[in-house]
Structure 1
Amino acid sequence: SWAVFFLLLWTSGEGGKLLVIPIDGSHWLSMHPVIEKLRVNGHEIVVVAPEINLRIRPSPIYTLKTYPVSYTKEFVEAEFKQMGHRSFVPQPFLEKLSKIANFTSMFLDSCKRLLSEKELIQYLEGSKFDAIFMDPFFPCGQILAEHLSLPSVYFLRGLPCSLEFEATMCPSLPSYVPRFFTHSTDHMSFWQRLGNLLATLGSSLACSVLYSPYDPLIREFLRREATVPELFSHAAVWLMKYDFVFEYPRPLMPNMVLVGGIGCTRENKLSQ
């Protein structure tokens, strides 16, 4: 259950063993302090990451296992820089979606490489982990969780197409909750609500296109039919990196925990 993770995080004594599947860049920067806390409490941590990355480095607080990928470091740097630049430039929805598709294709290739590393998979199978801590923007972590029969804990700000609410069956009514890229607030006119509904339907279709390439990979590795949203629905707990006071009012499911500000640096006290 999801309680396993909190027992690992906040208790010391006999340490547990945690498998971590992160994402590079700012996602890793916010996850790293949590990993440090886990290590301080005496838990053993194994991080699995592509050998080509920007920020995930060997560390005494965890064991780093890497796997080869087909892309270069220059390609990764260029993609992250472009993504950061585009975040501050207004763009049409379809153009933003195409940029997300570039990342998902890179993650798909990375996932194929990871799951084909038989020696690494055998190591993970024999390591007897207690849980898996992951960023679901890289769906491969959940595929591994299913294969290893581990409870999964997600650490995220959000997913494309608001998939986190679909996967948890959390109510997210388009009449009240504005969708990303619509520039609407929670006070919408009739036409804005209608546009929000169309955006919801369109994003659902877009998500099926983004994640459908994983279906053959899931079928081959898990030897059963499943989709990425279906696998996401098996997550034990969702640690959401935002604060309720900064979001529009909306319901949350019991396994969705708000941890906004968890990655913020603690400042020193002011001197007198």
Structure 2
Amino acid sequence: FYQRTWMFLLTLSLIFAEGGKILVIPQDGSHWLSMRPVVEQLQQNGHEVVVVVPSTSLYMKPTETQNYTVKVYPIPYAEEHLAVALKSFVDAHFIEQSVLNIIITMYQSMLEISKFFFTNCKSLLDNEDMMRYLRESKFDVVFTDPILMCGPIITEYLSVPSVYFLRGFPCGMDSEATQCPNPPSYVPRLFLNNSDSMTFAQRVKNMLVHMLEFVYCKPIFARFEELAYEIFQKKVTATDLLSRGAVWLMRYDFVFEFPRPVMPNMVFIGGINCDQKKKLSQ
């Protein structure tokens, strides 16, 4: 496994060194604000970058000045509807309430926002002209934020390597997809604010939340699994699709995270979005 991984990384580096064709499948919201500087830098470094975006989005504006190519596909809802859903999703993260209510509130808002992004993905896959363009373009790699699965589905459809750019994944699916150990006795779960040094009671609560994750995430990704079945005519889970990721660029710093196992193809790039300040004058 390790030999294959490093061979792929070497091949990928050669592609990037020569200037490759990169397909970018981004995710709207703050995810795109984090990814955009990297996309711009890839184009400046001599790569041919194509970004595929929906006609309606909050931050991925095709009319903005950019140095990369943007391909737009139509979707059947207005920007106002997306803005309301996204605001509700963001607000759910800042309401002070019990752990159980936080889980329920975020779960409901996640289901609602995922409906919009599922519509985006299905609209893209149903767009014959766009999909024909993607097939005929012969991209070398897909650069994507995989949080809501459209990037991994497109990657599987095109049969090309993928590089993931993300902050993390709900329900520990990133660990499951990479077969990385993620023991609930030592690795704190989302929502609980535990450290890696947990008391017995905290470990019990951590285990209960871990068990809840199996129920929590299934409905969120069920539609995408059904969509993948329509495309590939075989049953495929969200974890199966995620497992195709060759490199996982994780947008956090190991220094600021609790100790936990990671896999060789997980690369920590925390701070990549920080502004580069000028040196202080004498």
Q: Return the alpha-carbon distance in structure 1 between the equivalents of residues 36 and 246 of structure 2.
A: 21
Instruction: Show the counterpart of 2:21.
Output: 17
Instruction: Show the counterpart of 1:185.
Output: 195
Q: Return the alpha-carbon distance in structure 1 between the equivalents of residues 14 and 66 of structure 2.
A: 22
| 1:72 and 2:78 are equivalent in the alignment | yes
The answer on whether the counterparts of 1:2 and 1:151 sit within 8 Å (CA) in structure 2 is no
The answer on whether the counterparts of 1:155 and 1:239 sit within 8 Å (CA) in structure 2 is yes
**Unmatched runs of 5 consecutive residues or more in structure 2:** 1-7
Q: 1:188 to 1:234 in 2, by over 3 A?
A: same
Q: Return the alpha-carbon distance in structure 1 between the equivalents of residues 192 and 31 of structure 2.
A: 24
**Alignment map for 1:42-191 (pairs within 5 Å):** 42-58=46-62, 59-91=65-97, 92=101, 93-191=103-201
Q: Which has the higher helix share?
A: 2
The secondary structure found in structure 2 opposite 1:238 is: strand
Q: Return the alpha-carbon distance in structure 2 between the equivalents of residues 212 and 25 of structure 1.
A: 22
Q: State which of 238, 242, 247 in structure 1 corresponds to 2:248.
A: 238
The answer on whether the counterparts of 1:154 and 1:238 sit within 8 Å (CA) in structure 2 is yes
Task: Report the TM-score, using the length of structure 1 for normalisation.
Answer: 0.94
The alignment of Structure 1 onto Structure 2 pairs a total of residues equal to 269
**Unmatched runs of 5 consecutive residues or more in structure 1:** none
Q: Return the alpha-carbon distance in structure 2 between the equivalents of residues 108 and 83 of structure 1.
A: 16
Q: Show CA shifts across 1:197-226 (max 9, x none).
A: 110111122112211222221111122221
Q: 1:234 to 1:249 in 2, by over 3 A?
A: same
Instruction: Show the counterpart of 1:31.
Output: 35
Larger CA deviation: 218-227 vs 109-118: 218-227
Q: 1:89 to 1:3 in 2, by over 3 A?
A: farther
The secondary structure found in structure 2 opposite 1:212 is: helix
Q: Which amino acid aligns with 1:115?
A: L
Q: Return the alpha-carbon distance in structure 2 between the equivalents of residues 214 and 192 of structure 1.
A: 33
Instruction: Show the counterpart of 2:3.
Output: none
Q: Return the alpha-carbon distance in structure 2 between the equivalents of residues 217 and 109 of structure 1.
A: 11
